[in-house]
Amino acid sequence: MTTVSLTINGDRRQVDVEDRTLLVDLLRETLGMTGTHVGCDTTQCGACTVILDGKAVKSCTILAVMAEGAELRTIEGLADGDTLHPMQQAFCDNHALQCGFCTPGMIMAAVNIIERHGTDIDESLVRRELEGNLCRCTGYHNIVKAVLDVAGKLPRASE
Amino acid sequence: MMYAFSYHAPISLSEARKRFEESEDAAYISGGHTLLPTMKNRLAAPSDLVSLGQIEELQGIAVAEGCLTIGAAETHASVAASDAVTGRIPALAGLAGSIGDVQVRHRGTIGGSVANNDPAADYPSAVLALDARLHTSERVIEASDFFQGVYTTALEPGEILTKVGFRIPDTAGYAKMRNPASRYALAAAFVARFGDSVRVAITGASEDGVFRWTEAEERLSKDFSAGALAGLTLNEADMNEDIHASRGYRAHLAALCTRKAVELQGRLTLL
Q: pLDDT tens, position by position, for chain B (271 residues)?
A: 899 999 999 999 999 999 999 999 999 999 999 999 999 999 999 999 999 999 999 999 999 999 999 999 999 999 999 999 999 999 999 999 999 999 999 999 999 999 999 999 999 999 999 999 999 999 999 999 999 999 999 999 999 999 999 999 999 999 999 988 778 899 999 999 999 999 999 999 998 999 999 999 999 999 999 999 999 999 999 999 999 999 999 999 999 999 999 999 999 999 9
B221 within some domain? yes
Same domain (yes/no): B22, B67: no
Same domain (yes/no): B23, B107: no
Measured CA to CA, the distance from residue B34 to residue B146 in angstroms comes to: 20
Taking an 8 Å cut-off on Cβ atoms, the answer to whether A56 and B106 are in contact is: yes
Residues of B whose CB is below 8 A from A68: 9
Alpha helices, H only, B121-185 = 123-129, 143-146
Same domain (yes/no): B34, B81: no
Cβ(B109)–Cβ(B76) below 8 Å: yes
Nearest to B40 among A41, A56, A109 (CB): A41
Phi and psi for A72 in degrees, rounded to 5? Answer: -115, 135
pLDDT single digits (tens) A13-30: 999 999 999 999 999 999
B74 within some domain? yes
Taking an 8 Å cut-off on Cβ atoms, the answer to whether A18 and B53 are in contact is: no
The DSSP code for A27 is I
Query: Rounded to whole angstroms, what are the CA distances from A96 to A18, B15, B24, B117?
Result: 37, 49, 50, 39
Same domain (yes/no): B139, B195: no
Cβ(B94)–Cβ(B168) below 8 Å: no
Mean model confidence pLDDT for chain A: 96
Tell me whether A56 touches chain B (CB under 8 Å): yes
User: Interhelix angle for A103-117 vs A141-150, to 10°?
Assistant: 40
Cβ(B212)–Cβ(B199) below 8 Å: yes
Same domain (yes/no): B95, B149: yes
Cβ(B110)–Cβ(B123) below 8 Å: yes
Same domain (yes/no): B46, B66: no
Which segments of chain A belong to CATH 3.10.20.30? 2-77
* CB pairs A-B closer than 8 Å: 68
Query: Rounded to whole angstroms, what are the CA distances from B250 to B49, B188, B204, B246?
Result: 36, 10, 8, 6
Taking an 8 Å cut-off on Cβ atoms, the answer to whether A19 and B102 are in contact is: no
B1 within some domain? no
Nearest C-alpha in B relative to A51: B103
Shortest Cα distance from B269 to chain A (angstroms)?
A: 15
Taking an 8 Å cut-off on Cβ atoms, the answer to whether B101 and A61 are in contact is: no
B64 within some domain? yes
Nearest C-alpha in A relative to B31: A62
Which of A66, A116, A133 is best to mutate for the B interface (most B CBs within 10 A)? A66
Nearest to A43 among B7, B33, B181 (CB): B33
Taking an 8 Å cut-off on Cβ atoms, the answer to whether B101 and A131 are in contact is: yes
Give this complex's ipTM.
Answer: 0.96
Tell me whether A115 touches chain B (CB under 8 Å): no
Q: Using pLDDT thresholds of 50, 70 and 90, give the confidence band for residue A155.
A: confident
Same domain (yes/no): B180, B265: yes
Tell me whether A44 touches chain B (CB under 8 Å): yes
Measured CA to CA, the distance from residue B73 to residue A55 in angstroms comes to: 16
Instruction: Give the residue among A97, A26, A83 at the shortest CA–CA distance from A36.
Output: A26
Which residue range forms the structural domain that includes residue B17? 6-51
Nearest to A43 among B4, B6, B37 (CB): B37
Same domain (yes/no): B182, B214: yes
Domain spanning A86-150, CATH class: mainly alpha
Measured CA to CA, the distance from residue B236 to residue B30 in angstroms comes to: 35
Residues of A whose CB is below 8 A from B49: 19, 63
Residue B212's pLDDT is 98
Tell me whether B230 touches chain A (CB under 8 Å): no
Measured CA to CA, the distance from residue A65 to residue B7 in angstroms comes to: 8
% of chain A surpassing 90 pLDDT: 95
Shortest Cα distance from A159 to chain B (angstroms)?
A: 33
Nearest to B107 among A2, A42, A57 (CB): A57
Nearest to B103 among A18, A58, A63 (CB): A58
CATH placement of domain A2-77: 3.10.20.30
Q: How many domains does chain B have?
A: 3
Which segments of chain A belong to CATH 1.10.150.120? 86-150
Residues of B whose CB is below 8 A from A132: 100-104
Pairing verdict, β B6-8 and A2-8 = unpaired
